[in-house]
Structure 1
Amino acid sequence: MILCFTQIGNSQSTQLESLAKLNAASNFVESKELIKTMDTLAFQILKKQGIIMKML
């Protein structure tokens, strides 16, 4: 009986750890996308103000 509870506890712990890792990975991807979006917006603003000239 104790072994059964230990296995269930470990399984739940492993699932929570996996969920935490997945959440962290998701947050990392979201933050990279947010940074990419902010960089794009900043570039567009600077280009519109004439600070960045067309490179070609």
Structure 2
Amino acid sequence: METSLPEGSLRRAFSPRYAYTWTYRNILSPFWEKTLRGRSTHELLAFLERS
């Protein structure tokens, strides 16, 4: 039976570097932007994509 991800991709998906990158992009960076800088980059990008 074939998986949807090649073996190398599956291994990379569970690596510490991938986990850190995902956490930074999805949790730490948005928190920093919204709380400390008063703006949200993700909301701005979504707005720009809609326009």
TM-score for both structures, normalised by structure 2: 0.38
Structure with higher helix content: 1
Tell me: higher relative CO, structure 1 or 2? Use CA pairs within 8 A at least 6 residues apart. Answer: 2
Larger Rg, first or second structure (1 or 2): 1
